[in-house]
Amino acid sequence: MKSSDILYLIIQVIAIILISPLLDGVKRIMIAKFQSRRGPADIFQTYRDIIKLFKRSETMPECGTWVFRTAPYLMFAIMATVIAVLPIMHSGSALSAAADLFLIVYLFALMRFVFGVASVDSGNPFAGIGGSREQMVALFVEPTIILSSVVVVFPAGGLTNLVEIKNFVSSPQILKVLPVFIFSGVAFLFATYVETGKKPFDVAEAEQEIQEGLLAEYAGKRLALAHGALILKQIAIVGLFITIYIPWPVVGNPFVSLVLFLIKLVVFYYFASFVEGVSTRLRIGDTRLAASGAFALAFISLILFVIGRVG
């Protein structure tokens, strides 16, 4: 294993973790603008919020076991792991054993598992509902994520390592399967947006409806970490989308790659804020309808792939 890859991995994850509150701040200002409110004073508001939370004292529900106590740390670490293994700065083969598509999808499942158990462990009635909804949302988007990404994996020779997928997508060969790629990309983008838990699909941590679900029982540093973990989760899922579907422009310099990645993230957040700012929350049943549409798109991309291979 090359030591430079490990160095890049560390730089990448630290940089993204440190920048993540900034993206949240940008999002808050954008939404405020779209809704004609004033919003936070500047884009650094989320930093101040989180640091303030770290210094506050904590309350803990008396029924919480060690799962509830460690959950914010675990969720933060799981999402940091996903961000660390995404091939943004490092793109050698050394870390490819950790950057597998299915591995990342199941790391999200691990996150969901911890989230769900911690929700019920808190004993809070709202948190339990939030934990349950989180699973349902995953049920709606997971088939789309798997199907649309597998369709991209097929023409790449069935290699599921993200580095290989990225190399394939950025090579000219992708032009041969362009319609497949576009349909699956749109489906994946939709699933990504739902998975980030933004309005109108904000069901698991819905603030006004179920008191932010799991977050309701946390306070102080654990609330800060849980908040951070949820922001990281958004970045991780968007990062997965960017890695697979928007690898251009390909540059050799890892630092330039990181900057480009961050720019793509900001662009995503800009448009996502627009959607979030102008829409109202859907009920969970409507989420299912929307998700079925995305799955249909992914299925079309599969059919296109099959037809393309025959023809």
Contact positions with another protein (CB under 8 A) in 219-258? 220-221, 224-225, 228
Nearer to another protein, 90 or 199 (CB): 90
Burial of 171-184, coded b for 16+ CB within 10 Å and e otherwise, reads: eeebeebeebbebb
Angstrom distance (rounded) from CA 200 to CA 263: 24
Would you say 30 or 215 has its CB closer to another protein? 215
Minimum gap (Å) between residue 188 Cβ and another protein: 14
Q: Which of 3, 36, 252, 310 binds another protein (CB under 8 A)?
A: 310
Give the nearer residue to another protein in terms of CB position, either 275 or 284.
284
Residue 293: how many CA atoms within 13 Å on its side-chain side? 8
Binds another protein (CB under 8 A): choice among 46, 91, 124, 257 = 124
Between 37 and 309, name the residue whose CB sits nearer to another protein. Answer: 309
CB of 120 to another protein, least distance (A): 3
CB of 146 or CB of 182, closer to another protein? 146
Shortest separation between residue 261's beta carbon and another protein, angstroms: 19
* Interatomic CA distance for residues 36 and 277, integer angstroms: 10
7 binds another protein (CB under 8 A): no
Could you tell me the smallest distance in angstroms from the CB atom of residue 169 to another protein?
16
Number of residues in contact with another protein, rule: CB under 8 A?
93
Measuring CA to CA, which residue among 255, 263, 260 is closest to residue 4? 255
Distance CA 293, CA 16 (A): 32
Q: What whole-number distance in Å separates Cα of residue 171 and Cα of residue 165? A: 10
> Among residue numbers 27 through 86, which ones bind another protein (CB under 8 A)?
51, 54-63, 65, 67-68, 72-74, 76-78, 80-81, 84-85
> Which residues lie below 8 Å from residue 203, measured CB to CB, with a gap of 6+?
133, 136, 137, 197, 209, 281, 282, 284, 287
Q: What residues numbered 131-190 form the site for another protein, per CB under 8 A? A: 131-133, 135-136, 138-139, 142-143, 145-147, 150-151, 153-154, 157-161, 164
Among the listed residues 262, 284, 290, 300, the single contact to another protein using CB under 8 A? 284
CB-based contact 224:154 (threshold 8 Å): no
CB atoms within 10 A of CB 247: 23
Of 78 and 240, CB closest to another protein = 78
Residue closer to another protein by CB (options 54, 248) is 54
In the list 11, 22, 117, 266, the residue contacting another protein (rule: CB under 8 A) is 117
- Give the N- to C-terminal CA distance of the chain in Å, as an integer: 42
Nearest to 67 by CA among 133, 126, 132, 119: 119
Q: Is 26 in the site for another protein (CB under 8 A)?
A: no
Nearest residue to 14 (alpha-carbon basis) of 98, 74, 88: 88
